Amino acid sequence: MAPNRPDIRPSLGLRPIINVSGTMTALGASIAVPEAIEAVSRVLPEFVEINDLQRKASAVIARLTGAEAGYVTASASAGITLAIAGAMTGADLAKIEQLPDASGMKDEVVILTGHLVGYGAPIKQAIRLSGSRVISVGQVTMVRSYQLEGSITERTVAALYVVSHHAVQYGQIPLAEFCRICNARGVPVIVDAASEYDLKGFLAAGAAAAIYSAHKFLGGPTAGIVAGRKDLVRAAFLQNHGIGRGMKVGKEGIAGTMAALQAWETRDHTTIREREREHLTLWLDRLRNAPGLHARIVGDPTGNPLDRLEVAVSPSEAGTTAWMLAAELARGDPPIIVRDHEVANGHFFLDPCNLHPGEAEIVVDRIVSTLRALQGQPIQDVSTLERRRFAALSQWPD
């Protein structure tokens, strides 16, 4: 922990982790920006008219994204469900109260098979929560325009396009082409862009709505943002009188999201990138001679303007594996959580976006010392570690 930085975690009995995984919900997503913290603190003691506050948020979202309107909800996942529900019901309050029973409504949502991701929950479930049905298009690693065209029927209510590191990154229909095909048939395209920096490009490409996370790169409180065509955003907002009631956001989430968006507009992104590059260079230099580790700087797979360090582990040289090293780092003191979704392929990533001062040095020191400690220990299969992880989850809260 950086000197003189107050840390509430020990008083709550929580481990003071260091996050080099990225903006992950399971880790608290990101470090909230001061502007959002101040807005949350100032609005919490006051009563507000929530619908009017949402109206003010709509104007901020519209200005920052180029949308006609915007709406703040509980999360990006909720935003997906509610935008689809809005496409199903429009502003018809009777239909809104009818969901998730979709009788008499268009209820098919097309999505590329390579976009059927999990982000802590299956995206299929976020779609089905609206009462709609999932229609997958093409194969996992190959989809063609004619397959999308053939999947659109008189029952198609919306199309969902996912921009995520979890999605297949090749063999997919580009967003602009996807929008062209759907728009020509009157099908609104909803883009799941939860972790994306680009606040304008998806709507400019022809999407009717784009869904963002307020608590990831924006550094706001836990919330989701629905930005897009006014009639669709209005219909999503009106779901608060139906299935959206269980996905509502509080005054602090709305005010904090507005502040985070406004801070994003004036943030010194160049200086932030320079600081991240310094962390990456430190890690690369220090790990260059570590036995069995092969490090390189790689770009973000979805085109966000950030880099990470890929650390590949050669078992024959290192005497251990990527998954054992990642697991041991997470068990240490302080725990260091790496970006390990590809660890079965023999590598993990270090993300420099969420570090407090002094933590980059702690991370690299611990990698070197942990690697040394693991050498000579029996190598465990990655599936064994996965079983332990889910066994612990199944025993919560014990």
- pLDDT (average), residues 140-155: 96
- Residues 6 or more apart from 268 whose CB is under 8 A from it? none
Question: pLDDT per residue over 201-219, tens digit each?
Answer: 999 999 999 999 998 889 9
Cβ–Cβ under 8 Å, residues 277 and 307: yes
At residue 2, does pLDDT exceed 60?
no
- Mean pLDDT across 261-284: 93
Lowest mean pLDDT among 23-32, 59-68, 142-151, 186-195: 23-32
pLDDT mean over 346-358: 92
pLDDT at residue 188, rounded to an integer? 98
**Sorting pLDDT into bands at 50, 70 and 90, what band is 1?**
very low
Q: What is the DSSP string of 55-110?
A: HHHHHHHHHHH--SEEEEES-HHHHHHHHHHHHHHTT-HHHHHHTT--TTS--EEE
Supply angle C-alpha 209, 244, 49, rounded to 5.
95
Which among 311, 264, 270 has a CA at the least distance from the CA of 292? Answer: 311
* Confidence class for position 4, pLDDT limits 50, 70, 90: low
Which tokens is 234 given?
């209005």
**At 83, is the secondary structure helix, strand, or coil?**
helix
**Structural tokens at position 260:** 């985070």
